[in-house]
Chain A
């Protein structure tokens, strides 16, 4: 079974509107970390936001926020006031409490912001 599932291969959003990118995960650990990265066409993976499973509040970083629903094992990324520069691939990733440093990535969602 996949550990990270991103069910939206592609999404469109109008400039200045908000968009939600879905991510569900599978783990039996009580403690884990969830990350979102942005990958523009240039290739670099840019860290956006982190949510710990033990955090009581949803993470926020500027226009990015996480809609974290632990019971449903979902960690959806919300981008508010979309900008043309937000067009990119977005990846959800998880680190489980195994002592390994590796991140497990989802297959990504391609977001296109339209003017």
Chain B
């Protein structure tokens, strides 16, 4: 496996279900990200992890619970979601270059996404 992988690729769940999204990066990167892409809205950052530590939470509702056990794996645990949470959830990773100008060039590489439908 190369790059960033995500499973499952498609997920349909009811509002009372509990499910988890998985992301794995094979690039030796130190930072991982969750983004949400809804129809007709720009890509929205949800969480950032640097060296397994959460460094950003973009005011995400608590029904989304991230977990980063190591620099290669990232999970998004879902519970009691709402239909408006239906979206494409993208995971990304980056080397975490820096500081200074190097930090600006820190390119994020994305996985194929999980298309989530909440009924």
Q: Which residues in A have some Cβ–Cβ distance to B below 8 Å?
A: 4, 31-33, 35, 37, 42-47, 50, 52-54, 91, 93, 95, 97, 99-108
**Can you give 7 A-B contacts (C-beta < 8 A)?**
A4-B42, A43-B90, A43-B113, A44-B111, A47-B107, A97-B104, A102-B45
A53's nearest neighbour on chain B, judged by CB, is: B104
Chain B: interface residue total (CB-CB under 8 A): 29
In the complex, A103 Cα to B109 Cα: how many Å? 12
| Complex interface residues of chain B between 62 and 106 (CB less than 8 A to chain A) | 88, 90, 92, 94, 96, 101, 103-106
Q: Tell whether B53 is near chain A: CB-to-CB under 8 Å.
A: no
| A101 and B48 contact, CB distance less than 8 A | yes
Inter-subunit contact A33/B56 (CB<8 Å) = no
**Which residues does B use to contact A, with CB under 8 Å?**
31, 33, 41-43, 45, 48, 50, 55-56, 58, 88, 90, 92, 94, 96, 101, 103-113, 115
- B101–A31 touching, CB < 8 Å: yes
Whether the Cβ atoms of B94 and A101 lie closer than 8 Å is yes
- Tell me the nearest residue of chain A to B107, going by C-beta: A47
Q: How far is the CA of A104 from the CA of B110 in the complex (A)?
A: 15
Q: Are A43 and B96 in contact (CB under 8 A)?
A: no
Q: Which residue of B is nearest A107, CB measured?
A: B42
B107 touches A50 (CB 8 A): yes
A-B pairs under 8 A by CB, number: 69
Q: Looking at B50, B92, B110, B115, which has the most chain A CB atoms within 10 Å of its CB? A: B110
Give every chain A residue within 8 A of B104 (Cβ-Cβ): 31-33, 52-53, 95, 97
Closest partner residue, chain B, to A29 (CB atom): B104
CA distance A4 to B44 in the complex (A): 13
* Known A45-B110, A91-B42, A101-B48; 17 more pairs at CB < 8 Å: A33-B104, A33-B105, A43-B113, A45-B43, A50-B107, A52-B101, A52-B104, A53-B104, A95-B106, A100-B48, A101-B94, A101-B103, A102-B45, A104-B42, A105-B42, A107-B42, A108-B42
Q: A101-B31, A102-B48, A105-B43 are in contact. Are A44 and B107 (CB under 8 A)?
A: no
Give A52 to B104 CA distance when docked, in angstroms: 8
Shortest C-beta distance, A31 to chain B (Å), equals: 6
